């Protein structure tokens, strides 16, 4: 099992790049099927989701789509602060659009809930959530359960494939779990 060191902590590989590619394709296939004939607007949640979004959007089949970005921050180090610090306002109108929020990971669900409320207020036609990772045990709000999930995960802290540890490790092609 491959391990790496990041800021004094040991992490071990949990999802290989090959497994990630399979997970992403499975999500892309379901979205391609569900949005046939529609023109969804993907709202990518920066910073973490940029890697997943780039693979996901290129794996869609026959979908004419649009993409925009937003930013919400609730994490410091390895723990959620519980409050959402920054929101970069959307640069595109979501009114009457079929929106798919793209997340790297859904943990408490606060970020997704907050964004859903924003998008509802802006009169989106429909709102769904696609996430690479989902921590079901940590979900605080049932209505934040993602519609499309790459892989479910236990409560461990993970890095790589867009997910950071205080800004670092986003560029790792695999996903690593902290070693206890």
Q: What are phi and psi of 103, to 5 degrees?
A: -120, 155
Binding-residue pattern over the window 94 to 113 for ligand 5GP, x denoting contact by CB under 6 A: ---------xxxxxxxxx--
Q: Active-site residue among 107, 143, 147, 155?
A: 107
Q: Are 123 and 95 in contact (CB under 8 A)?
A: yes
42 forms part of the interface with ligand 5GP (CB under 6 A): no
The conformation of residue 103, written as its DSSP 8-state character, comes to E
107 catalytic, yes or no? yes
Q: 105, 132 in Cβ contact below 8 A?
A: yes
Under 8 Å between Cβ of 150 and 132: yes
Return the residue of 15, 20, 159, 174 that touches ligand 5GP, per CB under 6 A: 159
Q: How many angstroms separate the CA atoms of 70 and 86, rounded? A: 9
Chosen residue from 24, 51, 158, 174 binding ligand 5GP by CB under 6 A: 158
CB of 155 vs ligand 5GP, minimal distance in Å: 8
Q: How far is the CB of 131 from ligand 5GP (least distance, A)?
A: 8
Q: Which of 108, 68, 74 is nearest to 90 (CA)?
A: 68
Q: Looking at 80, 87, 128, 147, which residue binds ligand 5GP (CB under 6 A)?
A: 80
Q: Are 107 and 138 in contact (CB under 8 A)?
A: yes
75 lines the binding site for ligand 5GP (CB under 6 A): yes
Q: Is 172 in the site for ligand 5GP (CB under 6 A)?
A: no
Does the protein bind ligand 5GP through residue 14 (CB under 6 A)?
Answer: no
- Interface size with ligand 5GP, residues (CB under 6 A): 19
- The smaller minimum CB distance to ligand 5GP, of residues 105 and 174, is found at 105
Q: What crossing angle do the helices spanning 17-34 and 50-59 adopt, rounded to 10°?
A: 60
Q: Which helix (H) or strand (E) holds 98?
A: strand 98-106
Partners of 69 in the β-ladder: 44
Instruction: Kindly list the residues in this chain that would bind ligand 5GP in the complex (CB under 6 A).
Output: 45, 48, 74-75, 80, 103-111, 157-159, 163-164
**Enzyme catalytic residues:** 107
């Amino acid at each position: 099992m491959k391990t790496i060191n990041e800021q004094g902590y040991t992490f071990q590989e949990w999802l290989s790049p090959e497994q990630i590619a399979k997970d992403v394709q499975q999500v892309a296939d379901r979205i391609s099927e569900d949005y046939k004939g529609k023109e969804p607007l993907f709202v990518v949640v920066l910073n973490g989701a940029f890697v997943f979004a780039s693979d996901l959007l290129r794996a869609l089949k026959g979908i004419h789509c649009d993409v925009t970005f937003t930013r919400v921050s609730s994490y410091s180090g390895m723990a959620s602060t519980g409050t959402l610090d920054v929101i970069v306002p959307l640069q595109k109108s979501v009114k009457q659009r079929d929106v798919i929020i793209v997340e790297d990971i859904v943990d408490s669900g606060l970020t997704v809930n907050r964004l859903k409320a924003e998008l509802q207020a802006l009169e989106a036609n429909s709102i769904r959530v696609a996430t690479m990772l989902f921590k079901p045990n940590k979900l605080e709000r049932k209505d934040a359960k993602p519609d499309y999930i790459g892989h479910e995960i236990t409560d461990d802290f993970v890095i790589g494939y867009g997910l950071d540890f205080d800004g670092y490790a986003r560029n790792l092609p695999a996903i690593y779990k902290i070693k206890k």
